Amino acid sequence: MDVQEKTYCRVRDLGLIAYERAQDDQKRHVDDVLAGGPQTILLCEHPAVITLGRLSDERHILFSQKYLEERGVPVHCVDRGGDVTLHAPGQLVVYPILRLAERGKDLHAYLRGLEQVAIDLLARFDIVADRFSGKTGVWIGPQKVASIGIGVRRWVSYHGLAINVNTELGLFDLIKPCGLAVSMTSVARHKKGNIDMGRVKQEFVDCFNRRFCFDV
């Protein structure tokens, strides 16, 4: 995954955006990159939403559709890898739209690279995080803090990773996260207070650039 020569990458902050709108934005950026446009990192947060990846088991949603509708939590089936996950305000969601053909077409290395970016980011907040062999994502001790699920079209990546910063963790009780018997945690829980999301985004972009050798 090491790339010596820096390449240009654009960063766009979408703020708090509906999940469907962000998916439309991703598709437009994938088309743009395929047409020769700049690689792009999209940063955002979403209102509460549950998404089901290609490998999802709907039984990992633990409440009825009616109950979720009453809570205002929609469910979307999406074309990423992985199982069920949840997005909500206070969670940093990152969609890298990258040319993986320039990185050896190695999906395993790309996933490990995304995990390492999250690990590097958490280290900047004095939090020790790690990965578990055979399980995609990032953990703080036994609790999961970051989930990853990607899609690829003609070796251009989309979807990406979600890092719990100030997320309301009780929302994860609605699902079996990633199909695992795991509890979720957040940066705020470990720092005992909410974290400035602006700083988190800046630190994330720097960690991402260093790991993937980009110049924004």
178 among known catalytic residues:
yes
Give the C-alpha separation, 193 to 167, whole Å.
11
pLDDT in tens, 93-147: 999 999 999 999 999 999 999 999 999 999 999 999 999 988 999 999 999 999 9
Q: Considering the domain boundaries, does residue 65 fall inside one?
A: yes
In what helix (H) or strand (E) does residue 7 lie, and over which residues does it extend? strand 7-16
- Return the SS3 of 50: strand
- Return the SS3 of 85: strand
215 — pLDDT class (breaks 50, 70, 90):
confident
Catalytic position from the list 9, 44, 178, 207? 178
Give the C-alpha separation, 85 to 82, whole Å.
9
The pLDDT value recorded for residue 4 is 47
List Cβ neighbours of 181 (8 Å cut-off, separation of 6 or more): none
Give the C-alpha separation, 133 to 141, whole Å.
14
Q: Considering the domain boundaries, does residue 92 fall inside one?
A: yes
What is the number of domains present in the chain? 1
Q: Considering the domain boundaries, does residue 2 fall inside one?
A: no
> Which residue do the tokens 């909410």 mark?
194
The arrangement of strands across the sheet holding 49-52 comes to 75-77, 49-52, 84-87
Q: Considering the domain boundaries, does residue 1 fall inside one?
A: no
Q: Considering the domain boundaries, does residue 148 fall inside one?
A: yes
Q: Considering the domain boundaries, does residue 169 fall inside one?
A: yes
In what helix (H) or strand (E) does residue 108 lie, and over which residues does it extend? helix 107-123
Q: CA separation (Å) from 59 to 64, 135, 170, 202? A: 10, 20, 19, 37
Q: Is 60 exceeded by the pLDDT of residue 1?
A: no
Average pLDDT, rounded, for the chain: 95
CATH number of residue 144's parent domain: 3.30.930.10
Q: For the chain, first and last CA: distance in Å?
A: 18
Rounded to the nearest angstrom, the gap between the alpha carbon of residue 12 and the centroid of all alpha carbons in its chain is: 15
Which structural domain, as residue segments, surrounds residue 67? 7-215
Q: Considering the domain boundaries, does residue 60 fall inside one?
A: yes
Q: Considering the domain boundaries, does residue 137 fall inside one?
A: yes
The pLDDT value recorded for residue 5 is 61
Q: Per-residue pLDDT averaged across 174-183, rounded?
A: 93
The pLDDT value recorded for residue 169 is 98
The pLDDT value recorded for residue 149 is 96
Give the C-alpha separation, 8 to 37, whole Å.
10
The pLDDT value recorded for residue 111 is 97
The DSSP-derived string for 121-154 is HHHTTT---EEETTEEEEEETTEEEEEEEEEEET
**Helical residues (DSSP H) of 35-102, grouped into ranges:** 65-71
Q: Is 60 exceeded by the pLDDT of residue 52?
A: yes
Q: Is 90 exceeded by the pLDDT of residue 2?
A: no
List Cβ neighbours of 198 (8 Å cut-off, separation of 6 or more): none
Q: Is 50 exceeded by the pLDDT of residue 3?
A: no
